[in-house]
Structure 1
Amino acid sequence: MLLRTLLLTGAAFAGLAASASAADLKAVASFTVLADIVHHVGGDKVTVTSLVGPDGDPHEFEPTPANAKALKAADITFVSGLGLEGWMDRLISASGYKGKPVVASEGISTRTMEEDGKTVTDPHVWNSPVNVKVWVANVEKALSAADPADAATFKANAEAYSKKLDELNAYAHQKFDRIAEDRRKVLTSHDAFGYLGREYKITFLSPLGISTETEASAGDVSKLIEQIKTEKVKTYFFENSNDPRLVKQVAKATGAQPGGELYVESLSKAKGPAPTYEKMFRYNVDQLATAMEKSS
């Protein structure tokens, strides 16, 4: 009798474990910054895989068979949208994935810019924590729809992380607001900091547009060099996921001094300075504020 009871109890526990395991969602996110947000909202109820790895460029990403396999096995997929992941439709077709990706940037107040004579939307929304709060809300809604049993957990996680984003916003204002606006100017590899600039009144100049896939013409570089000299920009930064040669060339022609490396479209590896969104944002703010204060 005791043996039968133990067997039944063991079977019940096995059933519960199988049920819990089956309830865990397999999520795929297009790149590391978004994957980190999904991880924080999903907590231990969601397993998250990032298609683009640490230090990777989401503009020029070339999907692999392993990416296709991960996507096909996913219960839910997240993209930032706004034209960032131009390769995603091809990957979906190649993988046989039947779902429709959740667009995390839906509802964000976007900015536009001129590039090659066209008006385009800037996809780099995550460089403002105010925008990432919209991501969090969209991720929570999508996860709750996919797994209603854990909706309360997702809501609590989302609320806790939104408070962290408020703290990041306050931190950035504390760092930047004390610097005169005419000193809040830096040179970067490409135009990826527009939302940070809009939020904290910083002027970012770059030889490339919103995408690293574009190429700067000699005329554009010449105009940028003259603008940097006119506006007396004194510091340049290169990015962890991009080739730094062009921005160094511009800096050499203008006399701008190196401010270091910024993490713009990708988190660092685990042992780097920016393995999470929170650490990435604080690191970038510290680097930028330090450079601006020196130029003041």
Structure 2
Amino acid sequence: MKPKMLLAAVFALSSMAGLAQAKPIEAVASFTVLADMVQNVGGDHVHVTSLIGPNGDPHAYEPTPNDAQALKRANLVFVSGLHLEGWLDRLIKASGYQGQPVVLSNGIKTRSMEEDGKRITDPHAWNSAANGVVYVRNIISALQKADPANASDYQAKGEQYIQQLEQLDAYARAQVQAIPSDKRKVLTSHDAFGYFGDAYGVTFLSPLGFSTETEASASDVAKLITQIKQEHVSTYFFENSSDPRLVKQIADASGAQPGGELYVESLSPADGPAPTYAQMFRYNVDKLTAAMKGN
């Protein structure tokens, strides 16, 4: 073979090898908050599919045949865990996915409550930015294990992202601490802000428990209305992924005024106010603190 032809052949083979190496990891995340986190760490090395789209409710989600196909193609599957994605086991079985999902809440100090005589774990851990850092560290570890060749990239992007979340954590503390403690009370659709409340010193009242699929009894609603009046809770919020009717009824009966919409279990569409986890977190902080300040 002539030297020029040999060089051309070597170049062609190396180019094909480069293309093969450049094929991104196929990652599936259960909902948009996790998908955004994985994309921030993975960058161009990862192609992320979110099973639940913007404004979706992970409690009441019904998987589709397309979801099974996405899992079948996946190299990695990311879930929050803590019994949030109760529909996932049957989806994995239907898809034929052979791996173990990466549970991003591993390492979180969980909170729980009594509900119908049972101790239930709160699954909404990402609503504290400090917990978001734990999620990101678990993502870094999983991607490095799956793709050691790009481990340094995942570490660098992950650490940069962690710095951003740590800044948001400090921002939330500063904003809330500027408000008198007796004013840090808010009514929301369901009990999804417990980790936020514990981390930053806010009391959240809600007619529903940890899941949007729970139901509030008439006596529970009456007690909540009385509590809101006694504690002078002045503002209520509804959530982008749940039905606002019950919380509006309670607000009407108690005199609480609307504070707007919060993003708690899913991001907004790209043209909305909360298209990324970082933007969602800051948006919620700003909305909540403005309401508690009476603005």
Any residues of structure 2 matched to 1:65-76 within 5 Å, and which?
Answer: 65-76=65-76
Hey, what's the Cα distance between the residues in 1 that align with 2:95 and 2:58? 18
Q: 2:134 — aligned with what? A: 134
Could you say what secondary structure the match of 1:26 adopts? strand
The alpha carbon displacement at 1:34 in A equals 0.8
Specify the alignment match of 2:19 in structure 1: 17
Residue 7 of structure 2 aligns with which residue?
A: 5
Which amino acid in 2 is paired with 1:101? P
In 1, Cα distance between equivalents of 2:58 and 2:294:
32
What is the rounded CA distance, in whole Å, between the counterparts of 1:113 and 1:155 in structure 2?
36
Normalising by structure 2, we get a TM-score of: 0.97
Q: Distance in 1 between matches of 2:98 and 2:220?
A: 43
Counterpart-to-counterpart distance in 1, 2:21 and 2:99? 23
TM-score (norm 1): 0.97
Q: What is the CA deviation profile of residues 213-234 of structure 1, one whole-angstrom value per residue up to 9, with x for unaligned ones? A: 1111111111110110110100
TM-superposed CA distance for 1:4, in Å, is 5.3
Residues 76-115 of structure 1: pairs in structure 2 closer than 5 A: 76-115=76-115
Describe the superposition over 1:36-70 as per-residue Cα deviations: whole angstroms up to 9, x where unpaired. Answer: 11111111111111111110000000000000000
1:56-205 pair list within 5 angstroms: 56-205=56-205
The CA distance in 2 between the partners of 1:29 and 1:168, in whole Å, is: 23
Aligned residues: 293
Matched residue of 1:114: which SS? strand
Deviations 1:116-169 (A, max 9, x none): 221111000000010011111111111111111111111111111110111001
Q: Distance in 2 between matches of 1:286 and 1:94?
A: 42
Bigger shift: 140-149 or 1-10? 1-10
Post-superposition offset of 1:184: 0.3
Q: 1:47 maps to what in 2?
A: 47
Q: Which residue in the other structure is 1:227 paired with?
A: 227
Which runs of 5 or more structure 2 residues have no equivalent in the other structure? none
| Residue aligned with 1:78, SS | strand
Structure 2: how far apart are the matches of 1:69 and 1:186?
41
Q: How far, CA to CA, are the matches of 1:218 and 1:60 in structure 2? A: 22
Query: Per-residue deviation at 1:3?
Result: 5.1
CA distance in 1, matches of 2:257, 2:165: 31
CA distance in 2, matches of 1:18, 1:139: 23
Letter in 2 for 1:227: Q
Q: Distance in 1 between matches of 2:66 and 2:268?
A: 21
Displacement of 1:114: 1.5
State the one-letter code of the partner of 1:118.
K
Letter in 2 for 1:145: K
User: What secondary structure sits across from 2:273 in the alignment?
Assistant: coil
User: What SS does the aligned partner of 2:62 have?
Assistant: coil
Report sequence identity in percent.
Answer: 62
| Alignment-mate amino acid for residue 141 of structure 1 | S
Note the C-alpha offset of 1:180: 0.5
For residues 193-244 of structure 1, what are the alpha-carbon distances to aligned partners after superposition, in whole Å with 9 as ceiling and x for unaligned?
A: 0000001110000000000011111111111101101101000000000000
Cα distance in 1, alignment partners of residues 103 and 13 from structure 2: 41
Q: Tell me which amino acid in the other structure corresponds to 2:53.
A: G
Q: Which residue is equivalent to 1:218?
A: 218
Query: Which residue number in structure 2 is paired with residue 38 of structure 1?
Result: 38
Residue pairs, 1:196-275, within 5 angstroms: 196-275=196-275
Q: Who is 1:29 aligned against?
A: 29
Q: Give the distance between the partners of 2:221 and 2:174, measured in 1 at CA.
A: 33
User: Please, what is the CA RMSD of the aligned residues?
Assistant: 1.1
